[in-house]
Structures are given as C-alpha cells and as structure tokens.
Chain A
Amino acid sequence: MRRRVGLGAIQQQKLAAEKYKDKGADLQESQLEQMTKQMEVFRNKLEEFAMKHKEDIRKNSQFRKQFQEMCAAIGVDPLATGKGFWSVLGMGDFYYELSVQVVEVCLAANHKTGGLMELDELRRRLIAARGQSAVHQEITKEDILMAAKKLSIFGNGFVIHKLGKGKYMVQSIPGELSMEETNILSAASNTELGSVTQTQLMKDLGWTDYRAKQALDKVLGEGLCWIDKQSDEPSYWFPSLFPGRNAQLTAT
C-alpha cells in the first residue's frame, strides 16, 4: 500500500481522530443515560417491592434482616427517611418504636444494673415487655442495634459498647466510658462470673498497679460495679455481666 504523505493526509488523520473522540463521547453519554434509566427502573422496582412486602418487612425479622442487607449492599439507607418514598414503608417507625422501648427497658433496670446491660439481656427483656403476639416477639439483635443507634443523637446518655466476640454492652446512664473503663468491661466480660481484680488487669492489659487501681476506683465511683472484699484481693463485679442474674430472669 502506498503510504499517504502531505498536508492533506495529516489533516485527514486529525479529522478522523476528532470523529473518534466525538463518537466516544456519544457512547459514554448514551451509556450514562442508560445507567440512569436503569437506576430509575431499579429504584421504582425497589419501591414497588418495599410497598408490596411492607407487612412482611415489618413483621418478619428474617425478611427484615435480608432487606436491610440488600439495602446496605446497594448503598441505600432505609432509615434515612424523613420523607421520600421510604416513609411509605413505615420502616423508620418500627425502629423509632423499638428505640423508645429500649430506653424504657434500660431505665427501668438502671437501679439494678448500674446502667449497663448486655445486649442479649436487653433483647430478652424487650421481648418480655413487648407482649405475647409473635409479631412482637421477633426482634433480632441487629434490630436493637439499629434502634439504639438512633438514640445516639440524644448525646452520650445512651451508648453501645462493643466488647468483642459479638458481645455488646448497652450503657443507659449519662457519661462517657473512657477507654480504660471499656477495657475493664472487656476484661470482666471475658471472665466466667464477670469480675476483675487489680492483679488481673495488670496481667491482662499490662497496666501498672497505680493505673489499674485508679481505673477500678473510677468504675466503682460511678456505681457501675460492686466491690467484694471477702476474697484474697478485692474484686470488682459487674451485675450486668453476672450470669446468676440472668439464670433467675429466665426462670421466672
């Protein structure tokens, strides 16, 4: 093939490149358009789906959980819903209702728990408080966590602490748990009976005796734990972590 030379050829090449570019932009645009359309369709479908299964979502915990997971996967928050189509779901209401109950249950038990309650216990108490019908019985831990998160806007009066191993502690008294206190709670939650000693903290957390003593005194001073002086070394007990308490709760 004869090689094309000269000014005309260069101009032609330039023109072609420009055309390619235009075509590319066109393509991109149409793709975007299509995507937007698809998203619109998807949104509508999701809305339809939510409307259609509104009752199921409210009543069936398994279904609700899956729906939540689906929403999370596509980056939609069904709870960020003052208005818009999600409000038709009443999903927000479900959690608002639940969070009010969470507060009620926690406050009612505050004098016994010192303001700390394990998530499992909270769930048991909630179920007991919500009445007999199956609809009310089916709440998962995720539901409670979700509901409790909504309470965080009220400041530090209501906080959830993750203690690891899927254990959560719900704190329902004002005041922030410091890192030290959270660490002590964690250490205690890993023991059989929910108690710690100074020596144990020094060993488990690598704290100095002074630091451990200070931290324990603080937890005690806030009424979060009880002290037992009838063992070799004073031990500090969290009623909220003491298994004997729940044994009786479920028995009665």
Chain B
Amino acid sequence: MNKPVLRVQDLAVTFTSYTGNLFQRRQRQLRAVDGINFELNPGETLGIVGESGSGKSTLARAILGLIAPGRGRVMWNGEELTGLDEEALRQKRKELQIVFQDPVASLDPRMTAGDIIAEPLWTFYPNMERLQVEERTRGMMKVVGLLPNQINRYPHEFSGGQCQRIGIARSLVLNPKLLICDEPVSALDVSIQAQIINLLKDLQNKLGLALIFIAHDLSVVRHISDRVMVMYMGQAMEVSDKTKLYRRPLHPYTNALMKSVPVPDPKLAAAARQDSWLTGDMPSPYRRPKGCIFHNRCPFRVKRCEADIPALRRMEDGDWVACHRAEELDLSIQVAASG
C-alpha cells in the first residue's frame, strides 16, 4: 500500500461577520468547512463536488494555507502544514499548487504569458539564468499544448481555454507534488472543457501528481477522479470509489446531483426530468437545519433525520456516507449499456 501524501484531519474553517449597527454589534459565525477528513495517495485523484456555498473552494484554500483553518490539521508527507509560519509555508508552495476557476481573472492582464509562467521560477530561483528561465517557460508551454512562440502575448489575446492552459503551466512549472484544481473548467465552453480535463489527466499520469479536482457538476469529475467526495454545507456527505458512486450512489444528495446533470438527448431529457426531485435552494448557512443538514430537501427523510445528526460512517465496502438510511435505500442509476 502507498503511504498517503496528504492527510486532512477534522479540518474546519469558520468565517465571522458582523451585522447590526454602531451600538449593537452582532457576531455571526459561518461554518464554511466543517470537519472534513480524507487522505490522498500519490498519483491519486480525489474529485470534490458540491453546489456553490458547499465550502469546496474554501477547503482547497485551507489545505494550501491561503486561509487559516479554525480547527484540524493538514499533514503533508508527515509534516504538519497547519501552524507553519508564513515563510515556511511559502517554501511549501513549491510542492502544493492550485489552478483557479476563472482562467482570465487569474492571470495578471499586464503580464505576458511567458512572465506569468516564469513568475514562480523568479520567486524560488532568483539566481536562475534568464535564458534558462525562458527555455523552461517555453518547455512548459509545449507541455500544456500552447505554441511556445506565443510567449510574448498577453492574456487578452488568448481564448478562455488557452488562458486556462497558461494557468496550468504556471502551477506546474515548479514541479509540484500536489495540484488542486478549483473548478478549472466551469467557466469554459462545454466543447473546450474536455480538452482541459484530458490534459490534466494526461499530465497527472506522466508526472505522478496527486490531484484534487473540484467541480459543481458530477459529470465533469467522472473521467478524472479515482474517488469522489460530495460536499454539502461544509460537510462531506459521501466519499466513494468512482465506479461505485456513479452506479449506485449511497447518499440521496449524490443521487440528486447526478439527476440534475442535463442529458444531450431530447427524449431522454424529458424522461430524466420526470424523476428529478431536488427542490429549493441550500438553506442559509446561518440557519443550519437541525438533525441531518440535508433533510429539508430530501425526499427520503424520516422522523429520525430531523433530530439526529448522521455521522460520516464507513460502509462495508470501504466507502463513507453520512445518511441514516444508506443501507436500505437503493439509489442505483439506470445506465445505457455502452457509450
């Protein structure tokens, strides 16, 4: 067995905001990430899926130390990242990198593609020769499928997909061991999304990266993940092996997410609509439901769900789920025989 490179233990992030007026200041706590546990092996991909507000992006930033967690630990190769001082954490950035959601906004509009990709090199290898930096930058551009002769172009001269490739090149230029992709394709055209996903998968295989891939859509993470974690209001609802999750999800919320994925087929789409049942929005994070946090949107709820909080527990086959009725519900997905 591989030793996990990343171990996240009971990680929690709480944001405090103040409301009220000058005289009556009220403090409100928002539990963005609420006790997340998982391990990640080298070369493995964990998909994290949830609606906006589920805390998946906050979790990513907390793992990287871009946000200070309120509780819990992040262990990287046996070393605790939480609690490192700023400089020590900065040094660790060589090994842990991130790709952002908005490909255009995450690139400085006044820098050339080459400078953007080279910036981490300037930061960590200030003595590296200019030519060497340029050579490495051009090499990275080739790796992510960009023409190296575009090195002097600016972000606004590239399409969204190309900008995301620049972002990936920047995150890989230091040869990291872990790459966190925070919704890297949700701002791209559907026709381009697959390019980026395939590229990441390919790079991961060749570089042996550990990968965390975040999305709000289960269909997007399917092709790249080994395991998938479904998050809801800062908590993990289900952590399952990919093949099992897409055939027979354990949690009603996972099932709901799968059913809301649109089908590119007019007749099937109409049929699929018939049994989609996820209604309403996520409750306000300030007013968490008692008992199971999902119970007010869950069609399978029973009395118990309104009172008892279901713990994330391990099923016989090694998957994790936080639902009282996981054993009795059969949420198998009907699938066509082949693509």
Do A and B assemble together?
A: no
Binding site for A on B (CB under 8 A): none
